[in-house]
Structures are given as structure tokens and as C-alpha cells.
Amino acid sequence: MVSSVPQIKSLRQRSIFVKLLLVFLATGLAIFVVIRGFFFIGVDRNQGFKADLFKNLSKYSIQLVHEIGAPPDEELARTLAKELGIQFLVKSSEGTWSTDPSLPSMSNLEVDEDFSNSTTQVGRYRRHPFVIIKHDDIQYALFFLHRPFGELPAWSFLGLVAVVWLIIGTSYVAVHRLFRPLNWLTEGVGEISQGNFNHQVPIRSADELGRLTQSFNEMARQVNDMIQARDRLLLDVSHELRSPLTRMKLIIEMVHDLSAKEKLQQEIRELETMVTELLESERLNSEAGGLTVAHTDLVTIVKELVSSYALAGPGVRLVASPPNVHLSVDRHRVQIALRNLIENAIRYSRPEFGPVTLRIVTTSDAALATVEDFGLGISIDEQTRIFEPFYRIDPSRTRDTGGYGLGLSLVKKIMIAHGGDVLLESERDRGSTFTLKFPLKSAD
């Protein structure tokens, strides 16, 4: 079914808050990459910095070697390793020992010849610097290792993850709160699209979104004022037309020319129909929709209308219906809605394709009354406007092509007043199907 509300091409929904959060995360990652790149270029690839670093480490290592002595004091070396975080590997004629069994052998160490000399050799092991010092027949290797992650408490990684998610969650809440007016504006647009021009969006800030909200509220007020002014004008004009129409009907009775009399009566009937529809539409705008609700059988209403059009070409017939459908509705207003749809269908249907057909179907939450014709159909663009007041597909507004574009607008208002809706399904050269949707919750 195609409803009277304009259809928007289906798009995959994406949250603007998630997008902004991703932008923040991407920005943070980019900053990290830039800072890391700066240190990589300025430190890791800086030959002057590396030369100074290895020079100072070599001098410091020589002092430590003198401190543990030759032959080295193994106990002192382990004490220094524990205090300073520097691991020792000693190789002599008596054998090899180390303060950390995971240290590699000296033959597996790759020395940086650019910063080494005959007594001191330097290099990196797993990105950490080391210094090899030869003293007599003893070789000392000092590893300046950072504390490995394995020595950190087991909960530290989970704590880091929790902190990161806390930061992300806080950022999301802050962004969501900052852009909360967008949700209110979306709700406001929905209310306006449903005809609630009195809706006002709350203003909670004086920033760009606050000014946008203020402009939106002002626009809604102006539109509401224009619509009310239009409705008042139409109502006043409709009331004023009643009296001259009555006088014209009395005067026409004194006309002796039957042909002229019939033409004048036809014109007056059209004016009366237009005035009646305008007044009826305005009554529905009153509080509670101006409805007189009573327990009514929808099937009975439809059958009565079908019988009243028995002699109207191309004919009207009820093709499917349950025995009864009891609803709490305004019987007179429902008759008006169905009559308008049936007369439109008769007017635009092609007789060679058979009569206008009616169906009544019930679902779990609604009762559906459909009126189907076999006319020229309605284009997609016109389907979005067909329920607007005074809109007609044929702008000529002649007697042969219909009335003044008020019938379907009145049908829409009647159904909304009942808490239902009117739906349209149409295809060019195949005809149109209008469906009145009554909520079953309105039944007593």
C-alpha cells in the first residue's frame, strides 16, 4: 500500500552520534600516528641522538663493570640488576652466567659497528640497547631492558581496556547530549508532517542548534497562523454562501424554461456540495474531531451504499466481506468518506472493465474497507498530493472531470479523526485502490 504521506527512498539508517564518535577516535589515532612518527624520525632515525645515547650508556656500563669487579661478584651483579633493572651476562674461561636466564648468548647479538670500538660494542636487542665490554679475558654484556608486560599485574590490561571504554562512553554521552536537539527537531518535523502545527521544540541552548530550533518553532507558528487564517476565511465564506444559495433555489422555482432551470439547479447543487464539504471539514478541526460516535456495523453501512448506486454506471458491487464488523465510529462521517470514494471511482473508472468493487477485510488490529476502480490510475508524484485540499489531478475543474478537490481531503480528515488512515495503491492504466483503515481498538 502507498499511503498519502510522501514516501522517502529507503536508506540504511546511521547515527550521527556514532559518526562523530568515530571521527573523534580517528582523530586520536591520527594524532598518535603523527607523534609516533615524530619520535621515530627525530629519535630512532637520528644518528646524533643514537651516538650520544650509546656513548653515555658505554660510560655508565664501564662504571658498573668496575663496580662488580673482575672476576665479577655474581651476588652483587644480581643485586644491581634488581635495583637498576639492568641485566648482566658474563662470559669467561670458567663459563657463562647471567642475571636473567632468558638473555641470548653473546654470539647471537647483532653489534652496531658505527658506534662500537675495540673495547666497547653497542647494539639493540628487541629494540632495547645493550653494551658489551671486554676486560682482560672476560666479556660483560649489559642489557638495558624495560620491565616486560609479563611482570605487570594480571588485572592491569583489563583495567586499561575499562579506562578506554570509559573514555569512549563518556565521549558518546557528551556528544549525544550535545546533539540532543536534533532528536527533538526530528520529532518536531514528524509532528508537523502529521498536521500538528502547534508543536513546539524545546530550546535548551543558545548555540547554532538552539538558533535552528528557535527558527523552526517560529516557522511552525507562522504556518499554523496561515492555516488558521485560511480555515477561518473558508468557514466564513461558506456560512455566507448558505443564505444566497437558499434564495437562489427559491427564485429558480419560478423559472419556466425547464432546460435553463435544470442547468441552474445543477450549478446550485455543485455549490451546495462544495459549501457542505468545507463546513464538514471545518467541523472535524474542532475539539474531539466533532464526531458523534456510536456502535455501528461497517458491513451494513457498505451494503446500504452499494445498493444506493445500483443504477449508476459502471456499477458498484461488494465482492468480499465478513458477516459483520462492529466498530465505534461516527456513522454519518463514515458514510461521507465511503460515498466520496465510491463516486470518485465511478467517475474515473472505465465501464468496459467492469463495476467498481468493494471489499471488507479484518486483521488483528484493523478493519479495512477498500474501493477499487479500473481507471487511468494516479502517478506516484500525484499520490503524495491527492489528499491535499483543493488539489486535483485535472486542474480544469469542469463538471465532467470532477469537483473542487475537497472530497479526498475530507476523507483523510474523517479517517484521522477516527484514529485511522486512508491508504492508496495505484498504477497507471490499471486503476486505483483506496483503503479506509479503521483501528479495531475503537470497537467496544
415 shares its domain with 381:
yes
Report the SS3 class of residue 358: strand
Instruction: Tell me which residue range forms the domain holding 371.
Output: 289-442
299 shares its domain with 259:
no
Computed on alpha carbons and rounded to an integer, the radius of gyration of the chain in Å comes to 44
325 shares its domain with 413:
yes
Give pLDDT, residue 176.
78
293 shares its domain with 438:
yes
Cis peptide leading into residue 355 (ω within 30°): no
Q: Is 68 a member of any domain?
A: yes
Q: Is 211 a member of any domain?
A: no
Q: Is 218 a member of any domain?
A: no
271 shares its domain with 317:
no
Q: Is 152 a member of any domain?
A: no
301 shares its domain with 425:
yes
Number of domains in the chain: 3
Other beta carbons within 10 Å of 166: 10
Any idea which residue has 476565511 for its cell?
Answer: 233
Give pLDDT, residue 287.
53
Give pLDDT, residue 238.
65
Q: Which of 299, 275, 280 is nearest to 290 (CA)?
A: 280
Q: How far is CA 330 from CA 185, 417, 443, in A?
A: 35, 10, 12
Other beta carbons within 10 Å of 202: 10
DSSP string, 39-62: HIIIIIT-HHHHHHHHHHHHHHHH
Q: What is the distance between the alpha carbons of residues 280 and 334, in angstroms, rounded to a whole number? A: 12
Q: Where does a domain end: 146, 161, 183?
A: 146
Other beta carbons within 10 Å of 74: 14
Q: Is 37 a member of any domain?
A: no
422 shares its domain with 311:
yes
Q: Is 316 a member of any domain?
A: yes
Contacts of 258 (CB under 8 A, 6+ apart): none
Any idea which residue has 582523530 for its cell?
Answer: 27
> Cell digits for 315?
456499477
Q: Where does a domain end: 146, 163, 188?
A: 146
Please, is 78 exposed, middle or buried when counting C-beta atoms within 10 Å of its C-beta (0-12, 13-18, 19+)? middle
Give pLDDT, residue 301.
93
91 shares its domain with 108:
yes
On whether the CB atoms of residues 132 and 108 are closer than 8 A, the answer is no
What CATH number does residue 389 fall under?
A: 3.30.565.10
Give pLDDT, residue 4.
40
Please, is 357 exposed, middle or buried when counting C-beta atoms within 10 Å of its C-beta (0-12, 13-18, 19+)? buried
Q: Is 134 a member of any domain?
A: yes
> Cell digits for 49?
641522538
Residue type, 335: Q
405 shares its domain with 348:
yes
- Segment (H or E) for 283: helix 258-284
263 shares its domain with 317:
no
315 shares its domain with 341:
yes
**91: β partners:** 96, 139
428 shares its domain with 329:
yes
**Per-residue model confidence as pLDDT tens for the chain (444 residues):** 444 434 434 445 566 667 777 777 788 788 878 877 777 666 566 667 778 788 888 899 999 988 988 888 889 999 998 888 889 999 988 888 998 888 888 888 888 888 888 788 998 887 788 999 988 788 999 998 765 544 556 676 777 778 878 887 787 788 778 878 888 888 888 888 777 878 888 888 777 888 888 888 998 888 888 877 776 776 666 666 777 777 787 888 887 788 887 888 777 777 777 777 666 666 666 554 567 889 999 999 999 999 988 777 788 999 989 999 999 998 988 998 999 899 888 888 887 888 899 999 999 899 999 999 988 888 888 887 888 877 766 554 444 555 566 788 889 988 988 889 999 999 888 889 999 999 986 444
Contacts of 206 (CB under 8 A, 6+ apart): none
Q: Is 394 a member of any domain?
A: yes
- Cα dihedral value 94, 99, 105, 107, nearest 10: -80
Other beta carbons within 10 Å of 313: 10
pTM: 0.48
DSSP string, 106-160: GGG--B-GGG--SSEEEEEETTEEEEEEEETTEEEEEEEPPPPGGGS-THHHHHH
Q: What is the distance between the alpha carbons of residues 201 and 183, in angstroms, rounded to a whole number? A: 10
Give pLDDT, residue 420.
92
